[in-house]
Amino acid sequence: MDVALSTIVGAIALFIPALLTLVPLLTLVQKTQQHTGHNPPPPEPRAIPLVGHLHLLIKKPLHRTLAHLADRHGDVLGLRFGCTRVAVVSSASVAQECLVTLDTSFGNRPRLPSAKILSYDWSTMGHSNCGAYWRQVRRTTSTEFSSVERVQHFADVHEQEARAMARRLCHVAIASGGRALVDVKSRLLEMLMNGLLDMLFKRTSSRSDEQDETVEVTEEARCFMGMAEETMELTLTVWDFLPALARWLDVDAVGRRLQRLQANRTEFLQRLIEEHKEKEKCGQVTRRTLVRVLLELQKKDPEACTDQLIRSLCVSALEAGTLSTGYIVEWVMSLLLNYPHVMKKARDEIDACVGEQPKRLLEATDLPKLPYLRCIIMETLRLYPVVPLLVPRECSTDCTVSGFQIPKGTMLLVNTFAIHRDPGTWEDPETFLPERFEDGRNQALAAGNMVDLSFGMGRRRCPAENLGMQLAGIALGTMIQCFNWERVGTELVDMAEGSGLTMAKKIPLEAFCQPRASMVNLLSQI
Range name among 212-226, 367-381, 442-456 with the lowest pLDDT average: 442-456
User: How large is the average pLDDT for residues 448-464?
Assistant: 75
Among 486, 499, 476, smallest CA distance to 182 is for 486
Q: How far is CA 289 from CA 95, 114, 234, 364, in A?
A: 36, 30, 30, 19
Q: Count of CB atoms within 10 A of residue 446's CB?
A: 20
In this prediction the pTM is: 0.89
List the domains of the chain with CATH numbers. Answer: 2-524 (1.10.630.10)
What pLDDT digit, counting tens, does each position of 316-370 carry? 889 888 999 999 999 999 999 999 999 999 999 999 999 767 778 999 999 999 9
User: Which residues are within 8 A (CB) of 515 and not within 5 positions of it... i.e. 6 or more apart?
Assistant: 169, 170, 173, 174, 482, 483, 484, 523
User: How large is the average pLDDT for residues 227-247?
Assistant: 81
Whole-angstrom distance, CA of residue 341 vs CA of residue 385? 23
Whether the predicted pLDDT of 27 surpasses 80: no
Res 457: pLDDT:
86
The annotation status of 462 as a binding-site residue, yes or no, is yes
Res 483: pLDDT:
97
Whole-angstrom distance, CA of residue 8 vs CA of residue 51? 9
Res 444: pLDDT:
54
Q: How far is CA 358 from CA 22, 365, 372, 389, 482, in A?
A: 74, 16, 20, 42, 10
Widest Cα–Cα separation across the chain:
78
Dihedral sign, CA of 22, 23, 29, 33?
positive
Whole-angstrom distance, CA of residue 489 vs CA of residue 223? 31
Mean pLDDT rounded to a whole number for the chain: 86
User: How large is the average pLDDT for residues 144-151?
Assistant: 90
Strand pairing category for 411-414 and 84-89: parallel
